[in-house]
């Protein structure tokens, strides 16, 4: 061999190794799906939804995926997660078993079903890791297409980092905006409005987003003819294609079993999106679902024999194998041997996951049993307790409920005996130890929790002018933008005219079109822009024009934003501020105050209802010090009222979770919030003429509410409570009553 031949041979060797490595990952992933289904059907796991039939395109995606990039996808992506090194076989099974330990199931610590993937953006102390040094996956949610709005924001962050100065000096989140946000979605889920809303917005914004559509012609049992016009998503998306001198998308179509074409397509897409910030859609056709949709059914019920036969032949792994043999990458025998090896590896990983899941519980059982043995020795109920011990020991695979209910059954019998105290102690320490595994991180548990924010009062002097209240909020935003380069705001009419009530007047001119931006009329994706950008270290403020229209975004706030810290066991966060305005009852949609609906949907967020613009400004200043998502509802009829301009704009804070007594009185406590307070104050003045003194409390913060219990203290004094608001009967006022 001469040098040239040697180099060529070497390159071919490298190529072979890479392809075999790819195939191995895909094969292991397939074996996980096959064994995973069996684990569910034999009762070890409750439900399984797997990535079989979608392995090969995910290898191609993983090859094009670089450090700093983000995925926003759905439950089919296990092969991708394995290929980027974020999911091992043992972790895959830990997720399937719902192992309540974030070190065992790094996707969610057992909080989500298997198939909901995530990487860790935060360290043990809740601080950002260097996201540009790792491959990132935003945490999946179950609602189909729910990953789309967030994807838009993840992509937009790159655009902001590339074009706004003085951001991210340490390159923790971005290296010059070179990161791509990769979306995945099933063909049927493209029927959702969120899909189309996101595609349109990405075309307008021109952000580095690559959207893969895994097309297997079905959504559970429902065929493409019921899902998609022309039965082809790429056909109908053609109008979004970029032409010379227009914005738009690059649109690529590729067969899901064609490994070399997939690798080429993904490389191309990556380059277009990364370098030029042009979004790309990849329609990956001819995929299959070898085991059907999930463990809840079998696809023989709805696929024809011809379709099933086609799926066997065009199974992407079978096709990749054939291609490898045809191209001398490996022989058929070598691949069969490799398949066997993968199968063994998966079996071992599964076993390890099951022991890791079961052993701590067995250990807890042993602790209880040894306590019960000693309790029994001094008890008149000895034989009853011994029976309980033997029943508990007989359970081959105990769960925590078995342990706790045995402890309680025995406790009921030994009331009054010396064993009572030991058992009570066991039960309460068991709860203290175990409960956080299931409930921690509904809110941030780091030092940026709202409880750590100091209250700073607004400062006035004799010369403080009295102004239209909108100027207080505007000048406060001005300070916020000047001080914090990572803050940006966007919404309908928020840019050029500075919002419908001119609370942002002149700020676009001052801070640029990227930081103070107009957005299309598309509330869900305005929210998604905020979520995605907040997940990449920016401090977005998403503006929803009126409270009445928050409902379009409520689903994504509830499912995605409010659950993020919880569902990742504190490993991801999106400290997004949502700004809106409402209250004042003027019609069905202009403008109501459906606060009950909102606070019940948004546990995991703060919901704040400032009564005036100074209070609102103080909330924004406070929220920027926390790392928790929040909704601020300004009073729609408050912008033209007069308020005194504070001297310390951008600094004073309104405390979160603390009420304010705005009038003292001894006869009745009236609790309210927002616009109604002014009416109540007038009524209180009238009542005073009749000798009735009303104590008025402004709730200000509905979630969390009154953490100092000041309302109860007032009630102890007055013995009477009236809760007033503009919501429907049984709405937020019922919540307040329940809290008090």
Ligand X SMILES: Cc1ncc(C[n+]2csc(CCOP(=O)(O)OP(=O)(O)O)c2C)c(N)n1
Catalytic residue numbers, as ranges: 590
Considering only CA atoms, give the Rg of the chain: 29
Q: Which of 27, 120, 283, 293 binds ligand X (CB under 6 A)?
A: 293
- Tell me the β-bridge partners of 668: 694
Number of residues that bind Mg ion (CB under 5 A): 5
- Is 186 a residue that touches Mg ion (CB under 5 A)? yes
Nearest by Cα to 159 from 273, 281, 66: 273
3-state class percentages of the chain: helix first, strand second, coil last, to nearest 5: 50, 15, 40
Helices 3-41 and 55-64 pack at an angle, to 10 degrees, of 130
- The C-alpha atoms of residue 114 and residue 79 are separated, in whole angstroms, by 13
Minimum distance from residue 146 beta carbon to ligand X (Å): 7
* Helix ranges (DSSP H) in 378-495: 382-394, 400-413, 419-439, 469-483
- Is 216 a residue that touches Mg ion (CB under 5 A)? yes
Residue nearer to Mg ion on the CB measure, 186 or 674: 186
Residue nearer to Mg ion on the CB measure, 216 or 486: 216
Residue nearer to Mg ion on the CB measure, 61 or 671: 61
| Residue whose Cβ sits closest to ligand X | 186
Q: Which of residues 466-495 bind ligand X (CB under 6 A)?
A: none
Using H for helix, E for strand and C for coil, what is the string for 256-280? CCCHHHHHHHHHHHHHHHHHHCCCE
CB within 8 Å of 401: residues ≥ 6 apart:
none
* Helix ranges (DSSP H) in 42-74: 55-64
Q: Both tokens of residue 616?
A: 């609102």
- Stretch near ligand X under the rule CB under 6 A, chosen from 138-146, 356-364, 576-584, 634-642: 138-146
Q: Which of residues 197-216 bind ligand X (CB under 6 A)?
A: 214, 216
Q: How many angstroms separate the Cα of 386 from the Cα of each of 302, 404, 430, 448, 723?
A: 53, 16, 21, 50, 55
Residue nearer to ligand X on the CB measure, 119 or 189: 189
Residue nearer to ligand X on the CB measure, 188 or 278: 188
- Stretch near ligand X under the rule CB under 6 A, chosen from 183-191, 232-240, 633-641, 716-724: 183-191
Site map for ligand X, 90-129, x if CB under 6 A? ----------------------------------------
CB within 8 Å of 393: residues ≥ 6 apart:
365, 369
Q: Both tokens of residue 538?
A: 């920016």
Minimum distance from residue 670 beta carbon to ligand X (Å): 42
Minimum distance from residue 442 beta carbon to ligand X (Å): 23
Pair 640, 470: CB distance under 8 Å? yes
Binding partner selected for residue 398 from ligand X, Mg ion, none, CB under the kind-specific 5 to 8 Å limit: none
Site map for ligand X, 143-172, x if CB under 6 A? xx----------------------------
Q: Which of 189, 525, 529, 558 binds ligand X (CB under 6 A)?
A: 189
- Is 186 a residue that touches ligand X (CB under 6 A)? yes
Minimum distance from residue 169 beta carbon to Mg ion (Å): 44
Residue nearer to ligand X on the CB measure, 47 or 496: 47
Binding partner selected for residue 143 from ligand X, Mg ion, none, CB under the kind-specific 5 to 8 Å limit: ligand X
- The C-alpha atoms of residue 604 and residue 602 are separated, in whole angstroms, by 6
- The C-alpha atoms of residue 128 and residue 65 are separated, in whole angstroms, by 21
- Stretch near Mg ion under the rule CB under 5 A, chosen from 56-64, 186-194, 344-352, 396-404: 186-194
Q: How many angstroms separate the Cα of 362 from the Cα of each of 95, 129, 357, 390, 402?
A: 19, 35, 10, 14, 11
Q: Which of 112, 187, 388, 733 binds Mg ion (CB under 5 A)?
A: 187
- Is 286 a residue that touches ligand X (CB under 6 A)? no
- Is 537 a residue that touches Mg ion (CB under 5 A)? no
**What does the binding site for ligand X look like in residue numbers (CB under 6 A)?**
76, 142-144, 186-189, 214, 216, 218-220, 293
**What does the binding site for Mg ion look like in residue numbers (CB under 5 A)?**
186-188, 216, 218
């Amino acid at each position: 061999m001469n040098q040239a031949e040697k180099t060529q041979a070497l390159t071919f060797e490298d190529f072979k190794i890479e392809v075999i490595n790819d195939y191995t990952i895909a094969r292991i992933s397939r074996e996980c799906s096959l064994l995973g289904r069996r684990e569910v059907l034999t009762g070890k796991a409750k439900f399984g939804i797997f990535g079989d039939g979608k392995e090969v395109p995910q290898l191609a995606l993983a090859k094009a995926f670089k450090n700093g990039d983000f995925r926003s996808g759905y439950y089919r992506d296990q092969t991708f997660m394995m290929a980027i090194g974020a999911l091992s076989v043992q972790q895959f099974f830990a997720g399937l078993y719902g192992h309540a330990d974030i070190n065992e199931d790094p996707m969610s610590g057992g909080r989500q079903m298997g198939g909901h993937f995530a990487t860790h953006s935060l360290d043990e102390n809740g601080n950002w890791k260097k996201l540009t040094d790792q491959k990132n996956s935003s945490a999946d949610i179950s609602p189909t297409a729910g990953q789309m709005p967030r994807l838009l924001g993840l992509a937009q962050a790159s655009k902001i980092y590339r074009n706004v100065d003085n951001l991210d000096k340490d390159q923790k989140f971005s290296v010059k905006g070179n990161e791509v946000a990769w979306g995945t979605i099933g063909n049927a889920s493209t029927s959702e409005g969120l899909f189309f809303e996101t595609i349109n917005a990405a075309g307008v914004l021109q952000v580095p987003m690559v959207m893969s559509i895994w097309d297997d012609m079905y959504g559970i049992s429902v065929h493409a003819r019921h899902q998609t016009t022309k039965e082809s998503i790429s056909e109908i998306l053609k109008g979004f294609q970029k032409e010379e001198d227009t914005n738009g998308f690059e649109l690529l179509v590729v067969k899901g079993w064609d490994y070399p074409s997939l690798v080429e397509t993904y490389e191309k897409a990556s380059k277009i999106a990364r370098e030029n910030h042009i979004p790309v859609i990849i329609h990956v056709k001819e995929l299959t679902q070898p085991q059907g949709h999930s463990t809840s059914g079998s696809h023989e019920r709805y696929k024809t024999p011809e379709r099933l036969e086609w799926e066997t032949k065009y199974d992407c792994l079978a096709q990749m194998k054939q291609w490898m043999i045809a191209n001398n990458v490996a022989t058929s025998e070598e691949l069969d041997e490799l398949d066997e090896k993968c199968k063994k590896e998966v079996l071992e990983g599964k076993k390890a996951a099951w022991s890791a899941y079961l052993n701590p519980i067995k250990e807890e059982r042993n602790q209880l049993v040894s306590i019960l043995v000693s309790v029994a020795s001094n008890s008149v109920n000895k034989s009853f307790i011994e029976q309980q011990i033997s029943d508990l020991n007989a359970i081959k695979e105990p769960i925590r409920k078995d342990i706790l209910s045995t402890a309680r059954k025995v406790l009921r019998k030994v009331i009054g005996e010396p064993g009572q105290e030991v058992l009570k102690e066991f039960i309460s320490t068991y709860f203290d130890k175990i409960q956080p595994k299931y409930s921690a991180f509904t809110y941030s548990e780091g030092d940026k929790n709202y409880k750590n924010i100091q209250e700073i009062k607004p400062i006035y002097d004799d010369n403080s002018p009295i102004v239209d209240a909108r100027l207080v909020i505007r000048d406060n935003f001005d300070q916020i933008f000047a001080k914090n380069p990572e803050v940006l705001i966007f919404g309908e009419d928020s840019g050029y005219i500075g919002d419908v009530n001119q609370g942002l007047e002149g700020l676009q001119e001052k801070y640029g079109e990227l930081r103070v931006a107009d957005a299309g009329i598309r509330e869900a994706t305005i929210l998604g822009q905020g979520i995605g950008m907040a997940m990449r270290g920016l401090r977005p403020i998403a503006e929803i024009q009126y409270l009445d229209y928050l409902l379009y975004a409520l689903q994504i706030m509830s499912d995605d934003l409010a659950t993020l810290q919880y569902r990742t066991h504190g490993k991801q966060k999106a400290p997004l501020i949502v700004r809106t305005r409402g209250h004042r009852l003027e019609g069905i949609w202009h403008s109501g105050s459906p606060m009950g609906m909102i606070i019940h949907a948004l546990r995991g967020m703060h919901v704040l209802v400032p009564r005036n613009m100074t209070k609102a400004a103080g909330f924004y200043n406070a929220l920027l010090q926390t790392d928790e998502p929040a909704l601020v509802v300004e009073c729609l009829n408050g912008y033209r009222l007069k308020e005194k301009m504070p001297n310390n704009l951008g600094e004073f804070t309104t405390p979160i979770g603390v009420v304010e007594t705005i009038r003292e009185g001894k006869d009745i406590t009236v609790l309210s919030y927002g616009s109604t307070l002014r009416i109540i104050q007038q009524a209180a003045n009238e009542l005073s003429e009749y000798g009735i003194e009303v104590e008025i409390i402004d709730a200000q913060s509905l979630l969390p509410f009154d953490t100092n219990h000041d309302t109860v203290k007032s009630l102890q004094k007055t013995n009477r409570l009236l809760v007033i608001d503009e919501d429907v009967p049984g709405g937020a006022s019922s919540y307040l009553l329940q809290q008090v």
